Structure formats: C-alpha cells, structure tokens
Amino acid sequence: MKETTDFYASASEDVAEGAVYTAMGGGDWADIAAEQAERGDETLVINMGPQHPSTHGVLRLMVEVDGETVTSIRPGIGFLHTGIEKNMEFRSWTQGTTFVTRMDYVAPIFNEVAYCLSVERLLGIEDKIPQRASDIRVLMMELCRIASHLVAVGTGGMEIGALTVMTIGFREREMILDFFEAVTGLRMNHAYVRPGGVANDLPETGIAQLRDVINWLEKHLPEYAAFCNENPIFKGRMCGIGYQDLSACFALGVTGPILRSTGYGWDLRKQQPYCGYETYDFDVITWDTSDAYGRFRVRLDEMWESLKIVKQCADRLEASTGEPVMVDDPKIAWPAQLAVGPDGQGNSHEHIKHIMGESMEALIHHFKLVTEGFRVPAGQAYVPIESPKGELGCHVVSDGGTRPFRSHMRDPGFNHLQSVPIQCEGGMLADVVVAIGSLDPVMGGVDR
C-alpha cells in the first residue's frame, strides 16, 4: 500500500499515558473501576461530551476521578462557536438583532433587548421609546423568563430521573411559544425587538390569547412544587450538591439564580431598572442553601413573580391599545410602522400604499433604511439586564457608521462555567450532571 501524507495531521508524537478505555461495546462501570483499581493507578481521566446527553449542549468536561470521587474537572468550550459577534460588524444596526437572538436560544428575547438598549443609548433615544413598546418588551421578557426556567427545571429533573417534570415543563413552554408565534411570527429567534421599539404591535387577538396563557400557567405551575419541593428522592439528589457560597460567586462573577441561592438579593430589575421595571410590583426571590436545590427553588418562585409582572403588562397593554410601538423618527424606525397583512405576512396594505403611492419622502426613508441602515454616533455603551441566567450585557462600539464597529455580549453562562471546578471537585461523579444542570448554561450564549 502506498504511503500518503496527511498535511492536516499533527506532527506531534505524543503518546497517551496509562491505560485508555473506550466506550465502544457497552460494559459495566464497575468492571472498568475494578480493572483500574487492579492497575494501582491513582486516577482515571474521563471525557464527558461534547456529545454527552447531560451536558446541556456541546460542552466538553475533562474529568479526573479517583474511584467515584472527582479530583479535577475542567470545562472545554468552543464547540458551538458561530462567529456571531464578528458577523455583526458586517451588518446594519437593525440586522444585528437577527444575530444576537441566536446566542442564548432558550431566552432569545433577552439578547435582543440588551443589544437594542445599548444601541438606543448610543443614539440618545432612551427617553423617546414609546411606553407601549416598553410594556411589550417587559411582557415578552417575563414570558421568556418563565419559558427559560421551565427548560432549566425540566431538563434538570430529567437528568436525575424525574421524567414527569420534563414533560410538563415543555407542555407549559409550548403555550408561551404559541403566544410568541402569534406576536412575532416565530417560536424562537424572533428578531422582534428593534432599536427604537418593537417590530409590530400585538395582534387583534393578542390580549385574549395572553389571558389564556396566564390562566393556564396559574393552573399548572403548582404541579412542579407538588412533584419536587418535598420529594425525598429529589432533595437527596439536589441538596448539598454544587455548593458555591457568596464569596465564591463574587470572585467568579456569578449572578442570577446561583447568586440569589446564597441569600443575596441582587436583581438588576430592582438594582438598575430598565424598560420601566421600577413601576412594576414584584419581589426578588432568594434562598439560603447555596446549592442545586436552592437554585431550583429560586427559579420555581421566580416564575410566579414573572407571572405577576405579566398580569400587570396585560392590564397596561389593554389600556394602551392603538398607541405606537416604535420611536417617532422615520430615519430610525425600521421597518417603518411594520404591520402584518391579511395573509399573515409582510407589511399591511396601508403601509405599502403610503410608501408606494402617497409619500416620496416615506419611500426614500424606507429605501435608505432597508438598504443602508441608519447611522449611530461614534462612542460606546454597555447596558446590562437581568436574564433568566443572570447578568446579560451588551457592549457596542460605533465609529459613526451604519454598522457596529464592535459588539460583544456578556453572557452569564460563560462566567458560570468557571465555577464548575469549585462546585464539583471533591464530590461524586454522578453529581457533576446535577451541578452543571443547576448552572443552566446554554452553549449558544457561552460560545457565540
């Protein structure tokens, strides 16, 4: 056989140290552990992922164990890197919304709001956003927070054998996604929040459908507490697992439910209000156990607080029907006065008639905004918001052009994965999955 040269292969002659075990033909863990014990080696190195079903996406965990005890663990990220932030440098400011929504794909609305608030700060129009647009933003964020927590609670329960929690979690999430689809046209990756407001108003049946969602959630959310709160098996797998105290959270920049599970009530909706959160009545939920169980209880109670805000939004939006949802500036409001046509797609006939047959100026503005985009004054801005996972911030830099010079998202999951060694080293291998699940990382946001 003719020898060929692989130009892409490494020239290194590194050889693995010790025995290498491969999970090819099944087998039992006890057999592997017994064989390793006979060898007399101190530790065993295991790769969890990036295809492992319990690593919440393409996350690689390099775990070193002594028997069943984790002696060292290191997360390896980057398998889902999409180049979103770099791509945004070649798109207009409005098109950037379509990119950021795909980062944390479980909570897309929050990515859009953080980005748009930063752009609006550079534009100097923060005080000009219509009240109805801010109310819709809050409504969508809080529904999205409930949907995100349902995924965290459901998948976390599934990983320890509580399959019913998973099935009912996705049942409630479907109701919320149906509402999102009615409003934005999509179940996820909406690109609904735009600089200056939102893309379109609620549909005619929006408030009625929202009331149905509220009634459904009020009826079914108590089931999670009934299944899990005092379940001895559930508590046995969660209590004392993934422990991380307040000082460790401060040292590693950990926020959100993980921080609040230490008893520290830090919530940007209260501490640094945005979108008018200071006008809503809700409480900051804390727990005092600093473990996976505490994070579960925080998320469970936060869903009720979010539902409380959603009810207030419904009342406000019902009273402000017909008011604008985009800033009154034809040089920024893109797409200008977007509305859904009778076929459920595209612009309304009134908008097309206006730009095509009534106003040359409106046509020019529309053409310029769609093809070139608006210009943002040179400068930089960073606006953080409270996402379901923690502090989500967007840092945008403008050179005065029609697209971002630089855009960077501070995703909480990226910071939280730093704390995996603190939570897992010294514990059991079986508890690694529980600890990772309690962090609720979404690799689309971590890798970007």
User: What's the pLDDT score for residue 223?
Assistant: 83
**Residue 11: inside a domain:** no
Question: What pLDDT, on the 0 to 100 scale, is given for residue 8?
Answer: 46
Indicate the burial class of 98 (C-beta count within 10 angstroms; 0-12, 13-18, 19 or more).
middle
Question: Is 237 inside any structural domain?
Answer: yes
Residue 67 in any domain: the answer is no
The pair of structure tokens assigned to 29 is 């863990």
To which residue do tokens 């409630």 refer? 172
- CA–CA gap between residue 32 and residue 447 (Å, rounded): 33
| 3-state SS string for the chain | CCCCCCCCCCCCCCCCCCCCCCCCCCCCHHHHHHHHHHHCCCCEEEEECCCCCCCCCCCEEEEEEECCEEEEEEEECCCCCCCHHHHHHHCCCCCHHHHHCCCCCCCHHHHHHHHHHHHHHHHCCHHHCCHHHHHHHHHHHHHHHHHHHHHHHHHHHHCCCCHHHHHHHHHHHHHHHHHHHHHHCCCCCCCCEECCEECCCCCCCHHHHHHHHHHHHHHHCHHHHHHHCCCHHHHHHHCCCCCCCHHHHHHHCCCHHHHHCCCCCCCHHHHCCCCCHHHCCCCCCCCCCCCHHHHHHHHHHHHHHHHHHHHHHHHHHHHCCCCCCECCCCCCCCCCCCCCCCCCCCCCHHHHHHHHHHCHHHHHHHHHHHHCCCCCCCEEEEEEEECCCCEEEEEEEECCCCCCCEEEEECHHHHHHHHHHHHHCCCEHHHHHHHHHHHCCCHHHHHC
User: Which of 100, 211, 92, 236 lies closest to 161 in space, CA to CA?
Assistant: 236
pLDDT in tens, the chain (448 residues): 445 555 444 555 555 566 666 655 566 767 766 776 666 566 778 888 777 666 667 888 888 888 788 888 888 888 888 888 888 889 888 888 889 898 888 889 999 999 999 999 998 888 888 899 999 999 999 999 999 999 888 887 777 777 787 888 888 889 999 898 888 888 888 888 988 888 888 888 888 889 999 999 888 888 887 877 777 887 888 888 888 888 888 888 889 899 999 988 888 988 999 888 999 998 898 998 888 888 888 998 899 999 999 999 999 988 888 888 888 877 777 654 555 555 555 556 666 777 777 778 777 777 777 788 888 899 999 999 999 998 999 999 999 888 899 999 888 988 888 888 888 888 888 888 888 888 888 888 888 7
Closest Cα to residue 264, out of 293, 298, 300? 298
Q: Judge contact between 196 and 125, C-beta under 8 A.
A: yes
Asked whether residue 58 is assigned to any structural domain, the reply reads no
What pLDDT, on the 0 to 100 scale, is given for residue 159?
A: 78
CATH number at residue 252: 1.10.645.10
Residue 197 pLDDT: 86
Residue 439 inside a domain? The answer is: yes
Provide the domain limits for residue 148.
127-328+416-447
Residue 257 located in a structural domain = yes
161: in domain: yes
Query: Nearest 10 degrees: CA dihedral of 297, 298, 302, 304?
Result: 20
Q: In this structure, is residue 378 part of a structural domain?
A: no
- What is the domain count for the chain? 1
